[in-house]
Structure formats: structure tokens, C-alpha cells
Amino acid sequence: MNFLNDMLQIIAWVSILLGSVLVIIGALGSLRFPDFWSRLHAASVTDSGGVILLLVGMGIHSGFNLITFKLFLIGVFLFITGPTSSHAVANAALVSGIKPTKKKQKISGNDG
């Protein structure tokens, strides 16, 4: 039982640390990438992978009780609001005419 508990704590900390690394990588990407569109993609690493790993880690760390349920709800709501706000920003950029900087810049059809 004690061993199992230790294993769970280790899993929890590993996923919290990995999530933090992903958040840092997302921030690094936002700094390194050249233009608006690519920076949006860097932010989405923080939004998806970082958030999942941090919430899973915290959920396991707290043991399985009410806190886990609340963290799960936070995750569900972040998964709905995060992409919606990203889409709103991207759509506003498209409408105001920010074009991706690209050599072969084109809007291709489904067949390529």
C-alpha cells in the first residue's frame, strides 16, 4: 500500500514537472517564432498539453476526492473556452488582414 502510494506520488510529480516544461516551451515558442500566426501555435502547446499534464498531476497528487472532481471540471471548461478564444483571435487577425508570411502563400483546396 505504501509502495503504491509512493508510485502515485512519483507519477504525479513527473506529470506536474512535464506540464511545467511544456508551459515553458510554449512561452519560449511565443518568443522565438517570427510572426503572429506561428506564435498562436506556440501558445496552443501551453493550452493543451501543459494544462492536461498539470491538472492530471495535481489530481493524482491530491488523492481521489472532491479536489480531483473540481480539477476535472476546470479541465473541461478550459478545453471549451481555450480553443474558442484562440479561434476568436485568429478570426480577428484574418478579418483585419494579417497574412501569414510565407513563400508559397496560397489558400489551397482540398486536393492540395
Partner 1 sequence: MLRSILTAIFLFLLWYLMSGIDKTLTLGLGVGSSIFAVWIVRRMENASEYDSLKVHLHPIELFKYCIWFLLEIFKSNWTVTKVILSPKMGINQNMFKVPFSQKSDLGQTIFANSITLTPGTISVEVEEDHFLVHALTFLPTDHEALAEMNNRISKIEGNVTS
Residues that bind partner 1 (CB under 8 A): 22, 25-26, 28-29, 32-34, 37-38, 40-42, 44-45, 47-49, 52, 66, 69-70, 73, 79-80, 82-84, 86-87, 90-91, 93-94, 100-102, 106-110, 112
d(CA 46, CA 24): 8
d(CA 30, CA 32): 6
d(CA 63, CA 47): 24
Q: Cβ closer to partner 1: 2 or 104? A: 104
d(CA 21, CA 83): 21
Q: Cβ closer to partner 1: 6 or 81? A: 81
Measured from the CB of residue 75, what is the shortest distance to partner 1 in angstroms? 11
